[in-house]
């Protein structure tokens, strides 16, 4: 079975305490919601103490167009993505020795919070000496499930090519999509939950020559499940100023009543 032989995470440079996020949200939303204090309890209910974001907190209280947001997305995705890939390939906690980039056969790049063509993985390949025949598989638009889907696709790749070594790089900068003039409850809930981060995993096939110095998890299997006519549950509305969050109040019920039983039956 394919194995996850190394992982890394990289955080962006600015830390925001949950109390700071509450104050920013109060200052932006209080004129539109008479019951703002009741709504702000969602920050407490999330049990989140702090988050790390790409920009200083003052930036989020200012107006920004789609072009500026997306340029920041590309900049941070490339820089932090390079850091995550290097940390994953040089992880002494699980790898017997550092993995040379030339040993990587495919890169799955996962993201939903910005747009880049050429894709971010191509830009990273200009900065790290991967082979020029390394397969690139950018996957956009899967949202919260993107990282899991990327691992699933890497698993299938390694099953088909058991000598392969595959990177899954997931980049999400939810804070760069924040719309200070979006007074929907979806936006308020999104602010209370989401932030920024980058993660990378190295997955190897059964005949890979990469060796580890400890027991690592194997991927037993994967599955997929589509909920029909669920476009209004979670996603983006794309407007002139960027991405506007779609976040249905039915999500907890869907997870409990549909996704849970579906996962157990798969």
Residue percentage of the chain with pLDDT more than 70: 98
Out of 1.20.58.2240, 3.40.47.10, 1.10.287.130, 3.20.20.10, the CATH code matching 3-221 is: 3.40.47.10
pLDDT at 253 exceeding the cut of 80:
yes
pLDDT at 240 over 80: yes
Beta bridge partners of 204: 3, 165
The helix/strand/coil state of 34 is coil
Q: What confidence tens digit (pLDDT) does each residue in 91-101 have? A: 999 999 999 99
- Looking at residue 248, what is its pLDDT? 83
Pairs from 95-98 (Cβ < 8 Å, separation ≥ 24): 95/5, 95/6, 95/210, 95/211, 95/212, 95/213, 96/210, 96/211, 96/212, 96/213, 97/211
| pLDDT, mean of residues 5-31 | 94
User: What pLDDT, on the 0 to 100 scale, is given for residue 46?
Assistant: 83
pLDDT, tens digit, for every residue of 34-93?
A: 889 988 988 888 889 999 999 999 999 999 999 999 999 999 999 999 999 999 999 999
- The 3-state secondary structure of 85-130, one letter per residue: HHHHHCCCCCECCCCCHHHCCEEEEEECCCCCCCCHHHHHHCCCCC
Quick count: other Cβ atoms within 10 Å of Cβ 191?
Answer: 26
pLDDT for 265: 58
Is the model's pLDDT at 188 over the cut of 90? no
Catalytic residue status for 144: yes
The pLDDT tens digits for 117-143 are: 999 999 999 999 999 999 999 999 999
Q: Calculate the alpha carbon distances from 249 to 40, 142, 158, 246 in Å.
A: 15, 19, 38, 10
Check whether 17 has a pLDDT greater than 70.
yes
Q: Which of 54, 88, 144, 200 is catalytic?
A: 144
Q: Which tens digits make up the pLDDT trace of 26-47?
A: 998 888 888 899 889 888 888 8
Q: Which residues pair with 235 in a beta bridge?
A: 246
What does the domain layout of the chain look like in residue ranges? 3-221
């Amino acid at each position: 079975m394919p194995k996850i032989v190394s992982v890394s995470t990289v955080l962006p440079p600015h830390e925001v305490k949950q109390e700071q996020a509450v104050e920013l949200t109060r200052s932006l939303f209080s004129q539109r919601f008479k019951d703002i204090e009741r709504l702000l309890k969602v920050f407490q209910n999330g049990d989140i103490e702090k988050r790390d974001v790409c920009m200083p907190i003052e930036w989020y209280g200012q107006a920004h167009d789609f072009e500026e947001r997306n340029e920041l997305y590309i900049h941070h995705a490339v820089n932090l993505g390079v850091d995550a890939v290097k940390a994953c390939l040089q992880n002494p906690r699980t790898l017997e020795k550092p993995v040379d980039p030339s040993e990587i056969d495919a890169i799955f790049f996962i993201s939903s919070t910005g747009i880049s063509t050429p894709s971010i993985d191509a830009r990273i390949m200009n900065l790290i000496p991967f082979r020029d025949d390394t397969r690139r598989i950018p996957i956009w638009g899967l949202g919260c499930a993107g990282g899991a889907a990327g691992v699933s696709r890497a698993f299938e790749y390694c099953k088909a090519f058991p000598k392969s070594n595959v990177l899954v790089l997931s980049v999400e900068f939810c804070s760069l999509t924040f719309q200070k003039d979006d007074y929907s409850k979806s936006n308020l809930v999104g602010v209370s939950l989401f932030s920024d981060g980058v993660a990378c995993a190295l997955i190897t096939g059964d005949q890979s020559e990469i060796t580890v110095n400890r027991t690592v998890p194997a991927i037993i299997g994967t599955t997929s499940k589509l909920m029909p006519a669920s476009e209004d549950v979670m996603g983006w509305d794309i407007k002139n100023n960027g991405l506007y969050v779609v976040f249905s109040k039915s999500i907890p019920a869907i997870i409990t009543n549909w996704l849970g039983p579906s996962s157990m039956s798969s």
